[in-house]
A and B are shown apart, each in its own frame.
Chain A
Amino acid sequence: MSNAKNSSADNNELSFEEAYSHLEETVHALEEGELSLAEATRLFEEGMRLARICNELLISAELKITRLQTAFGEQMRLLTEEKKESAED
């Protein structure tokens, strides 16, 4: 149970870029070989976990949209507000 909690906490912390680059490093380390069986198994589990995090991040992502303040943006905003007000009047 505590493991599952830890891994979901890690999910929140890791960005896709971090998870993906760790995944690549893990595969690379395994390919290098000359590891003890225990170490290889640990890397395998870590790699599978990172692959799952990457997939989850990709699947669950929602595009976030923000607007920066520019002079033009302000003008547009004021115009729409004026229109609203005159419509209300």
Chain B
Amino acid sequence: MLLINCPYCGERPELEFVYGGEAHIARPAAQDQVSLEQWAQFLYARTNTRGVHAERWRHTHGCGRFFNALRDTTTDQFIAIYEVGAAPPPFARAHEPP
């Protein structure tokens, strides 16, 4: 089980959290001008990164707040936790994914 560092409550077990999927997927602004292709990209396409992945978590059984995280999907180690709306912080990659 992951130990997740909620920026508002501190370290808590994964069971208190709900995974919110990939972060930084913005809903298209001019919705009447968006092509089907762009909608499909927004709704369904994911980077599914093997390596450092930006993702959302929600501390549902705690403060209830969303936050973003960088996690290495080859080790499940969290690299950074940051606020919703902020750009992902730069990170030093510990190793290249195998």
The judgment on whether A and B are partners is no
